[in-house]
């Protein structure tokens, strides 16, 4: 991923700034920190990048999901509509909130479909947790209008699509609150870390307080602060903020390079008329961190995947491998929790064991994904495109 590829002097410098002050905590200790406030600086620059009014740096993307749910008032017994294609973190966050994940169908954007959302709505539905999956977006206009029509809160988890946009507006700027991750496998990384963003002053006030045990962060004497609400610890450290700040400043370059490289791969795939690209509602807004495409059927997809393996082309066939599709979530289906989750004590919860999302299954059976690197040289890109061409020729003959 771009962040790990481009890790260098700039990250080290930001971290050293913090280490020199010795203040690794993001709040207080004003006189000792020599004006070094990495979390605050990151939040200012991240909000500017997104075009959002506020953002708040926190411990992880999972923390950002939990924080978004909490700030939006989602708790015991509320239903939250979620997709079956995502890393499972947002679904775990819904469970931890005491809420009920309700699975809905995706479409060829690979994100929740507006039709799927509408079908999954019940009288208990409170929110839609839209994951902007692997670089690009859902059908935003229609999703927003379904949420509006049914008075649902929209939370956007844009962790896998940071840097993407829809009609000129950055992803992570559409719902009431959005979540991002800076773990090791994200476009920008601090090893661990996350953030929420919002345009709502009240939600922001809740976010910084809730993620720090309800501290109001007024004044500069931590012990004297008030605690208007109960909270939790989702704080990120100054060290993580320092790293992700340096990474954020490289993000426009990463996106530019990724788009160029994605274009080169797309050009090869276009030589094969049986291949179709994932539907991207605004192609100019694809962050191009990945390239997702469809083979005509599952048999051909498996063949292509096997040929890619043979040629050494890195690719994911999520339907069968890896961990991002519901078929691999045995622990969720069997509710293997080490303690009693609220959902385990509720009536009328969805039958997770026999989860039925046939439309999503059909889409995923045909889906292949490759990752785009930023540091590919022209020569490496040429070798890769040649390998892809050869693998596809073999698999599709």
Ligand X SMILES: Cc1ncc(COP(=O)(O)O)c(C=O)c1O
Q: Which residue has the tokens 């927003």?
A: 144
Question: For residue 274, what is the DSSP state?
Answer: T
Is 38 in contact with 242 (CB distance < 8 Å)? yes
Which residue intervals of 162-250 are DSSP H helices?
201-210, 238-248
Report in angstroms how near the CB of residue 387 gets to ligand X at its nearest: 27
Cα–Cα dist 308/304, whole Å: 6
Here the tokens at position 73 are: 């008032």
Long-range contacts from 30-39, C-beta under 8 angstroms, 24+ separation: 30/220, 36/238, 38/14, 38/238, 38/239, 38/241, 38/242, 38/245, 39/236, 39/238, 39/241
Report in angstroms how near the CB of residue 184 gets to ligand X at its nearest: 8
Residue number, 159 or 188, with CB nearest to ligand X:
159
Residue number, 60 or 136, with CB nearest to ligand X:
60
Here the tokens at position 371 are: 């990752």
Q: Which amino acids are annotated catalytic?
A: 186
Q: Which residue is nearest to ligand X (CB)?
A: 61
Residue number, 59 or 395, with CB nearest to ligand X:
59
Q: How far, CA to CA in Å, does 176 sit from each of 101, 148, 170?
A: 18, 12, 14
Report in angstroms how near the CB of residue 88 gets to ligand X at its nearest: 8
Q: Give the contacts of 52 (CB within 8 A, at least 6 positions apart).
A: 170, 172, 173, 178, 197, 198, 199
Buried (b) or exposed (e) across 249-276, using 16+ Cβ within 10 A? bbbeebbebbbebbeebeebbeebeebe
Cα–Cα dist 202/224, whole Å: 23
Report in angstroms how near the CB of residue 367 gets to ligand X at its nearest: 16
Report in angstroms how near the CB of residue 127 gets to ligand X at its nearest: 15
Residue number, 153 or 161, with CB nearest to ligand X:
161
Report in angstroms how near the CB of residue 180 gets to ligand X at its nearest: 8
Residue number, 23 or 50, with CB nearest to ligand X:
50
Rg (CA), the chain: 21
Q: Which stretches of the chain bind ligand X, using CB under 6 A? A: 60-62, 65, 86-87, 89-90, 131, 157, 159-160, 181, 183, 194
Residue number, 131 or 295, with CB nearest to ligand X:
131
């Amino acid at each position: 991923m771009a962040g790990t590829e481009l890790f260098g002097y700039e990250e080290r410098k930001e971290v050293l700034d913090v280490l020199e002050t010795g203040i690794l905590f993001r709040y207080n200790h004003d006189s000792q920190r020599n004006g070094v406030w990495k979390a605050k600086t990151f939040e200012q620059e991240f909000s500017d990048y997104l075009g959002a009014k506020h953002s708040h740096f926190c411990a992880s993307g999972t923390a950002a999901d939990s924080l978004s749910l909490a700030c939006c008032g989602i708790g015991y017994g509320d239903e939250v509509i979620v997709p079956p294609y995502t890393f499972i973190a947002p679904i775990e966050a819904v469970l931890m909130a005491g809420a009920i994940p309700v699975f809905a169908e995706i479409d060829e954007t690979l994100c929740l479909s507006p039709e799927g959302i509408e079908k999954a709505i019940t009288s208990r539905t409170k929110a839609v947790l839209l994951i902007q999956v692997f670089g690009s977006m859902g059908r935003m206009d229609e999703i927003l209008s379904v949420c509006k029509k049914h008075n649902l809160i929209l939370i956007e988890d844009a962790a896998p699509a940071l840097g993407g946009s829809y009609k000129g507006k950055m992803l992570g700027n559409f719902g009431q609150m959005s979540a991002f991750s800076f773990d090791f496998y994200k476009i920008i990384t601090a090893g661990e870390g996350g953030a929420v963003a919002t345009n709502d002053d009240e939600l922001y006030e809740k976010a910084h307080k809730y993620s720090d045990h309800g501290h109001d962060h007024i004044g500069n004497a931590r012990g004297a602060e008030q605690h208007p609400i109960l909270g939790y610890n989702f704080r990120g450290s100054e060290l993580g903020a320092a790293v992700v700040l340096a990474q954020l400043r490289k993000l426009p370059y990463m996106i530019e390079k990724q788009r160029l490289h994605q274009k080169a791969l797309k050009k090869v795939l276009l030589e094969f008329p049986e291949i179709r690209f994932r539907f991207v509602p605004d192609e100019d807004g694809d962050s191009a961190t990945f390239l997702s495409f469809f083979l005509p059927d599952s048999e051909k997809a498996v063949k292509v995947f096997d040929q890619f393996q043979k040629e050494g082309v890195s690719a994911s066939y999520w339907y069968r491998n890896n961990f991002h599709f519901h078929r691999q979530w045995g622990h969720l289906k069997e509710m293997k929790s080490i303690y009693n989750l609220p959902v385990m004590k509720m009536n009328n919860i969805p039958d997770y064991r026999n989860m039925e999302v046939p439309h999503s299954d059909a889409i995923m059976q045909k889906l292949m994904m490759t990752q785009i690197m930023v540091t590919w040289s022209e020569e490496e890109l040429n070798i890769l495109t040649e390998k892809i061409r050869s693998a596809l020729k073999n698999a599709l003959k």
